[in-house]
């Protein structure tokens, strides 16, 4: 029997038998095929170029599964690739786990895996191993992915949040909050808007552009919790104070408008294709120029700096005030009396 006869995933697609083999070969392998992917083998045998080997893993549970500017398939590639990229590595291989809910539409699964394959091909990363599980109805939000990435970092590249120093500049590669806003509106079915798209993308071109810079200290992609959360991670690890200038943080007008109307702070909304970089002040202009020369870095900006002092995130407001931005805690309950 062929997979294409079925319209929905059943528990049989996960029981290790014929249906499962058909699902893997006719759907997953068909899209993700590459010389290193052997669906018969229990383990992939790989060789790596010289350099430090970096490995990372990430889970993906976004709702809705498809949203303007991306879907959970491409996200599962970009998320893990970006974790390697901001660590200074070139991603080489991915492992994939799929957790699919019984009753999931096979046509949708096909779209998601195709999108995943396109994203992987664009980056030049190969999916070399994988697993599929089917969960009983009601036990998964349609589908979850987990991807594990292996990358290689040129010897001598030294990046880390502990290298961050007082006086360093903070840059972001483009407008913040696009992904969080697009997904929020899609999830709540607010109706589609052409001007709000997720920024889901590989950040490899952006990270490559800075890697040779001697003053590069640290990079991170601001995903869950957004720019403010990355800032707090840097502050916590470095013991420094970060100052951001509100007017210098790029936010797209439609994103700003939605946040203003719904009462959200773009500083806390997720990005999926941006990089926050900390560089020595002397290299800030060069880093900015390098990013602005790239298609995905046209909206890059120097947004602030690190300084000695009591650790914390200080936002210099448009009106000349200073606001302490605290870490996100659960739901932002109203507190203004």
- Per CB under 8 A, residues contacting another protein are 184, 188, 190-191, 258, 260-264, 310, 312, 314, 319-324, 326, 329-330, 332-337
* Least distance from another protein to the Cβ atom of residue 258, Å: 7
Which secondary-structure segment (H or E) carries 242? strand 241-245
Q: Are 154 and 212 in contact (CB under 8 A)?
A: no
DSSP-assigned letter for residue 212: T
* Least distance from another protein to the Cβ atom of residue 184, Å: 8
- Nearer to another protein among residue 295 and residue 320 (C-beta): 320
Q: Are 171 and 294 in contact (CB under 8 A)?
A: no
CA distance 16 to 8: 17
* Least distance from another protein to the Cβ atom of residue 178, Å: 17
- Nearer to another protein among residue 233 and residue 316 (C-beta): 316
Residue among 260, 244, 257, 255 at smallest CA distance from 301:
244
- Nearer to another protein among residue 46 and residue 262 (C-beta): 262
Q: Are 326 and 318 in contact (CB under 8 A)?
A: no
**Cα four-point dihedral sign 64, 65, 70, 75:** positive
Structure tokens at 167: 């006086």
- Nearer to another protein among residue 194 and residue 320 (C-beta): 320
- Nearer to another protein among residue 156 and residue 191 (C-beta): 191
CB neighbour list of residue 76: distance below 8 Å, 6 or more residues apart: 58, 60, 96, 116, 145, 146, 147
* Least distance from another protein to the Cβ atom of residue 303, Å: 18
* Least distance from another protein to the Cβ atom of residue 321, Å: 5
- Nearer to another protein among residue 155 and residue 261 (C-beta): 261
* Least distance from another protein to the Cβ atom of residue 332, Å: 6
Which secondary-structure segment (H or E) carries 119? helix 106-123
């Amino acid at each position: 029997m062929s997979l294409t006869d079925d319209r929905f995933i059943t528990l049989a697609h996960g029981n290790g038998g014929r249906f499962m083999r058909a699902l893997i070969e006719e759907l997953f392998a068909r899209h993700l095929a590459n010389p290193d992917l052997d669906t018969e083998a229990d383990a992939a045998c790989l060789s790596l170029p010289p350099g430090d080997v970096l490995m990372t893993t990430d889970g993906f549970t976004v709702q809705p599964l498809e949203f303007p500017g991306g879907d959970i398939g491409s996200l599962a590639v970009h998320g893990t690739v970006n974790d390697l990229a901001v660590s200074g590595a070139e991603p080489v291989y991915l492992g994939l786990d799929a957790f699919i809910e019984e009753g999931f539409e096979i046509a949708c699964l096909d779209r998601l895996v195709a999108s995943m394959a396109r994203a992987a091909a664009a980056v030049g990363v190969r999916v070399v191993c994988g697993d599929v599980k089917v969960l009983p109805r009601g036990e998964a939000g349609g589908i979850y992915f987990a991807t594990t990435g292996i990358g290689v970092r040129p010897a001598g590249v030294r990046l880390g949040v502990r290298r961050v120093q007082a006086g360093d500049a903070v840059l972001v590669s483009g407008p913040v909050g696009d992904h969080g806003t697009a997904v929020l509106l899609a999830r709540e079915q607010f109706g589609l808007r052409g001007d709000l798209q997720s920024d889901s993308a590989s950040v490899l071109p952006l990270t490559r552009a800075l890697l040779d810079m001697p003053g590069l200290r640290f990079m991170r992609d601001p995903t869950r919790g957004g720019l403010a959360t990355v800032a707090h991670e840097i502050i916590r690890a470095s013991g420094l104070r970060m100052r951001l200038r509100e007017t210098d943080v790029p936010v797209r007008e439609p994103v700003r408008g939605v946040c203003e109307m719904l009462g959200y702070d773009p500083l806390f909304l997720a990005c999926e294709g941006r990089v926050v970089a900390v560089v020595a002040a002397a290299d800030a202009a060069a880093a900015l120029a390098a990013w602005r020369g790239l298609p995905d870095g046209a909206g890059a900006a120097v947004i602030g700096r690190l300084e000695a002092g009591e650790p914390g995130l200080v936002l210099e407001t448009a009106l000349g005030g200073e606001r302490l931005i605290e870490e996100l805690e659960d739901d932002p309950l109203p507190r203004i009396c």
